[in-house]
Structure 1
Amino acid sequence: MDNYNFPPHFLDDLCNEPGFDRQTFIDAHQSEPAPTAIRINPFKPSAVKTDSQVPWCAEGFYLNERPSFTFDPLFHAGAYYVQEASSMFIGHILNTIRPNKDGAIKVLDLCAAPGGKTTLLNSALQSTDLLVANEIIKTRVPILTDNLNRWGTSNTIVTNNDPRDFNAIHSFFDVVLVDAPCSGSGMFRKDPAAMNEWSEGNVNLCHQRQERILADIYPAIKEDGYLIYSTCSYSHQENEEILDWLCTEFGLESIRIPIYKEWGIVETESPLKKAWGYRFYPGKVKGEGLFAACLRKKESSGGLSNYKNSGQQKLPAKEMDIVKGYMKNADDFYFFKVNEDWLAINREHKESLNILHRHLYIKKSGVRIGKLAGNDLIPDHELALSLAINKDAVLSTELTKEQAIQYLRRDNIDLEITGKGWSLMTYEGLALGWAKLLPNRINNYYPKEIRIMSQFSSLQ
């Protein structure tokens, strides 16, 4: 079983890669199941049960067995994200380079869906920092926005653009993460079907695509800004060769990231420019295959003039006062409308929002509060999950686990009604969404598109 159905010549080629141990690698794929890991949301403290810690991530934890996340209300409330452990190393990179930056920073996750690395970056940022999450494929944008909504922060903007569209935003971002589309060999253990799709030809195509994406995004990085590059591939062409190309083509400076020997991560250098890279092999690390590197831009791509959106709506003061009442620390936010919906984003991001709105297709900005019907707010699901909500302004109804599952399915909830009007439905103190309490019934407003469809429940 030496080949474990690996593609022809795959292991022979991999033997030439730094730090690769053939037998350890085979054993990990044959006898070790892919570990389950979660990352705790630092903004939503909860009683999530965890086991051992992921060494390179303070909020990352392994689980001894994989539970049914679908039927855990804390998952739907955004208390944690289910994420492959190796990929959490991206947060370690950001935490390493962040102390070198004074003041607020702007960060771009260029290939963001489904949102694992986006929420990882978000956890390392302050509210004064801005995170832009871009997804190239339109059909993948909803899952990205859903996961960011659960995370609860309001310093995020989601865009749906090709990397070349960022060419117009020169010197805008302090940090850009390119988790590049790749041949996927690092996911063979987690997804054995990926072996059937892998080919040397696909590696070559991915290499070319990666170069195009990186060339397109380069002008958007500030002078002395950082590019974090990662793949879930073991291929030299998609990893060290890309680093050499970046250093040769753009003069980028390689940044060495501190690691500990006991982590099992293999530190590599590219053959020509000696750029630092970090390889993760199953069997050496408790995680899947990953390559990551960090480089610093040493030249300017020119400035970007400020943009004032003179076409912004004049907002009625009376409506504004009603909406502000639903937000904690309302004066810290910039409020605006998109059609009939009221939204808010941290005030310091107003100018950035205007610039991005001019050049990009924006799918989500800050937090969507809701729409007004007379003097009443019809609250949006985003507001329910947001950290910015003023909980003193709304009712709150605590649910048992069984009631929470009923709510998340949009079923009728077996609940004694003690109030009237819009109510946050909570589980262990964390909001799940909205319901409207009426004298003789409860109207469930959990969004249909994300409701639990499965009939199995750990409660049964």
Structure 2
Amino acid sequence: MEQPQFPPHFLESLDQTPGFDHTDFIQVHQSSIPPTTIRINPNKKVSFSGAQQVPWCNEGFYLNERPSFTFDPLFHAGCYYVQEASSMFIDHIIKYIKPNFDDSIKVLDLCAAPGGKSTLLASALAEGDLLVANEIIKTRVPVLSDNLLKWGNANTVVTNNDAKDFARVPGFFDVILVDAPCSGSGMFRKDPDAMNEWSEANVNLCHQRQERILADVYPALKEDGYLIYSTCSYSMEENEQVLDWLCEIFGFETVQIPVDKTWGIVETQSEQHKAWGYRFYPDKVQGEGLFAACLIKREDSGNLPSYKRKFEKINTKEIEPLRKYIINANDYHYFKVNDDWLVIPEVHKDSMLTLQQYLYIKKSGVRIGKMAGKELIPDHELALSLIINQQEFLTTELSREQAISYLRRDNVDLQTNYKGWSLMTYEHHPLGWAKLLPNRINNYYPKEMRILAAPPNLP
């Protein structure tokens, strides 16, 4: 194969970068195919034949071949997420630092879309923890919300705010992940078109943008809280130099994350403050380019302002008919948005009020549905959530062909004598709702989430 046409001066710019091997780097880009990796939802387990585990993530697996994820109902059920293996290192970091906290924690994923690292965090956190997944770009928020919806956790909030908006909640978060916008050189093998966007000027521009984002979100991290910083760039300007800047300007202290030497990860230290960083090169690991680091904040963030809003007082008689649909129903706070009923874990009620006061929220907890008299009109979020009490609903198990028809919102060839709302399942994993009628079914799979591609020839 021909040598990849790297951007001018790109290779020369990396020659002094820690762990960079000029010859091996070129060879892996011209001769190897990026591995296909998925991360399993630990609450909706599935298995893949012959899959090998990603060393730094228990739920991550390399697949022998790339299946058609679009036409796998289990993908739409939120049983797994297709994610690049190197990015799963965040799981290793969060699980290393989490035991340092005595109580439940609040975590912010600042640049969260499309949701790979947010679903990873959701899996790593306990039910008593809170995850806020934020996306700055409004048009990218729906895909983030959809992926977290499929993952099923109730302790999750999706926001659409600029980094500077989080200064309104000083010291609110115990951990902040900033997977920063970058020049993208770590994706060259997976996405060769990214080479057209790379330039030394763009690297410098990204460096400035990264510093601005970090400075803006800094007040929201509590004293002794952790900042996880990552990019998919190889450039030292976007990585080690940013760590030195954080240590110099804000007094962050470095955290060394233990790594197994056999993993092939390159450990580095920044020039001035010797801050630890972790570099992933595709010629050394089974994955794409990544840089990650963890730091701890030592400065007091000041007092969090008190919230003024309150949840609308709800008559307990209104809530009572909803409880049977929720597992451990007493552990949740019930509230309404227009006619829709939603729930969040009771332990996050006060946090929710604070977030509502100061930030723009797009999704929170789990939307249960609407009450029409004594009947619940269930929401799609309830179907895919981890808190649904499936015993209270009729379920209809679908074949793969039927499931794909359902996910396309096509007519589903189904013979049944039952009537009413049914949870449509595939291999016993919920996909969504349908209403069964004597001579047809009404498909309630969300239009915006349906499969648009033509179906394959099924066996």
TM-score, normalised via structure 2 length: 0.98
Q: Which amino acid aligns with 2:359?
A: L
Equivalent in the alignment of 1:183: 183
The answer to whether the 8 A contact 2:185-2:198 is kept is yes
> What is the Cα deviation at residue 305 of structure 1?
3.6
Equivalent in the alignment of 2:160: 160
Q: Which amino acid aligns with 1:304?
A: L
The answer to whether the 8 A contact 1:308-1:351 is kept is no
Counterparts of 1:298-309 in structure 2, within 5 Å, are: 298-309=298-309
Aligned length: 459
Higher alpha-carbon deviation: 97-106 or 312-321: 312-321
User: In the aligned structure 1, how far is the partner of 2:361 from the partner of 2:446?
Assistant: 21
Q: Which amino acid aligns with 1:39?
A: R
User: In the aligned structure 2, how far is the partner of 1:458 from the partner of 1:21?
Assistant: 45
Matched, 1:137 2:137: yes
Matched, 1:451 2:450: yes
Once the two structures are superposed, what CA deviation does each residue of 1:225-265 show, in whole Å capped at 9, x if it has no partner? 00000000001100000000000000000000000111000
Once the two structures are superposed, what CA deviation does each residue of 1:293-348 show, in whole Å capped at 9, x if it has no partner? 000001111011432523x3232333211222211111000011111111001110
Q: Which amino acid aligns with 2:213?
A: I
Q: Which amino acid aligns with 2:154?
A: S
Counterparts of 1:18-167 in structure 2, within 5 Å, are: 18-49=18-49, 51-167=51-167
Counterparts of 1:351-430 in structure 2, within 5 Å, are: 351-430=350-429
The answer to whether the 8 A contact 2:308-2:357 is kept is no
Equivalent in the alignment of 2:278: 278
User: In the aligned structure 2, how far is the partner of 1:306 from the partner of 1:323?
Assistant: 31
User: In the aligned structure 2, how far is the partner of 1:101 from the partner of 1:50?
Assistant: 37
Once the two structures are superposed, what CA deviation does each residue of 1:432-455 show, in whole Å capped at 9, x if it has no partner? 000001111100000011101111
> What is the Cα deviation at residue 459 of structure 1?
1.4
Higher alpha-carbon deviation: 297-306 or 387-396: 297-306
> What is the Cα deviation at residue 50 of structure 1?
5.2
Equivalent in the alignment of 2:321: 322
User: In the aligned structure 1, how far is the partner of 2:73 from the partner of 2:318?
Assistant: 34
The answer to whether the 8 A contact 2:340-2:367 is kept is yes
User: In the aligned structure 2, how far is the partner of 1:306 from the partner of 1:346?
Assistant: 20
TM-score, normalised via structure 1 length: 0.98
User: In the aligned structure 2, how far is the partner of 1:323 from the partner of 1:412?
Assistant: 30
SS at match of 1:237: helix
The answer to whether the 8 A contact 1:77-1:150 is kept is yes
SS at match of 1:4: coil
Equivalent in the alignment of 1:348: 347
User: In the aligned structure 1, how far is the partner of 2:6 from the partner of 2:330?
Assistant: 58
Q: 1:195 to 1:444 in 2, by over 3 A?
A: same
User: In the aligned structure 1, how far is the partner of 2:286 from the partner of 2:375?
Assistant: 51
Counterparts of 1:146-295 in structure 2, within 5 Å, are: 146-295=146-295
- Which runs of 5 or more residues in structure 2 are unaligned? none
Equivalent in the alignment of 2:312: 313
Q: 1:50 to 1:379 in 2, by over 3 A?
A: farther
User: In the aligned structure 2, how far is the partner of 1:368 from the partner of 1:283?
Assistant: 45
Q: Which amino acid aligns with 1:266?
A: V
The answer to whether the 8 A contact 1:372-1:378 is kept is yes
The answer to whether the 8 A contact 2:227-2:297 is kept is yes
SS at match of 1:411: coil
Q: Which amino acid aligns with 1:337?
A: K
Q: Which amino acid aligns with 1:389?
A: I
User: In the aligned structure 2, how far is the partner of 1:338 from the partner of 1:269?
Assistant: 49
User: In the aligned structure 2, how far is the partner of 1:48 from the partner of 1:289?
Assistant: 25
Q: 1:48 to 1:378 in 2, by over 3 A?
A: farther
User: In the aligned structure 2, how far is the partner of 1:456 from the partner of 1:183?
Assistant: 36
User: In the aligned structure 2, how far is the partner of 1:276 from the partner of 1:418?
Assistant: 63
User: In the aligned structure 1, how far is the partner of 2:148 from the partner of 2:279?
Assistant: 28
Higher alpha-carbon deviation: 450-459 or 343-352: 450-459
User: In the aligned structure 1, how far is the partner of 2:231 from the partner of 2:211?
Assistant: 13
> What is the Cα deviation at residue 418 of structure 1?
3.2
Q: Cα RMSD over matched residues?
A: 1.2
Once the two structures are superposed, what CA deviation does each residue of 1:382-432 show, in whole Å capped at 9, x if it has no partner? 000001011111111111111101100111111111321111000011000
Equivalent in the alignment of 1:440: 439
The answer to whether the 8 A contact 1:2-1:26 is kept is no
The answer to whether the 8 A contact 2:48-2:63 is kept is no
Q: Which amino acid aligns with 1:441?
A: R
Q: Which amino acid aligns with 1:319?
A: E
User: In the aligned structure 2, how far is the partner of 1:23 from the partner of 1:47?
Assistant: 37
The answer to whether the 8 A contact 2:110-2:135 is kept is yes
Q: 1:50 to 1:372 in 2, by over 3 A?
A: farther
Q: Which amino acid aligns with 1:10?
A: F
Once the two structures are superposed, what CA deviation does each residue of 1:109-128 show, in whole Å capped at 9, x if it has no partner? 00000000000111110010
User: In the aligned structure 1, how far is the partner of 2:128 from the partner of 2:3?
Assistant: 50
Q: Which amino acid aligns with 2:376?
A: L
Equivalent in the alignment of 2:333: 334
The answer to whether the 8 A contact 1:343-1:369 is kept is yes
SS at match of 2:34: coil
Once the two structures are superposed, what CA deviation does each residue of 1:157-191 show, in whole Å capped at 9, x if it has no partner? 00000000000101010000000000000000111
- Which runs of 5 or more residues in structure 1 are unaligned? none
Q: 1:2 to 1:248 in 2, by over 3 A?
A: farther
The answer to whether the 8 A contact 1:109-1:134 is kept is yes
Q: 1:386 to 1:48 in 2, by over 3 A?
A: farther
The answer to whether the 8 A contact 1:46-1:428 is kept is no
What's the % identity of the aligned pairs? 68
Higher alpha-carbon deviation: 323-332 or 280-289: 323-332
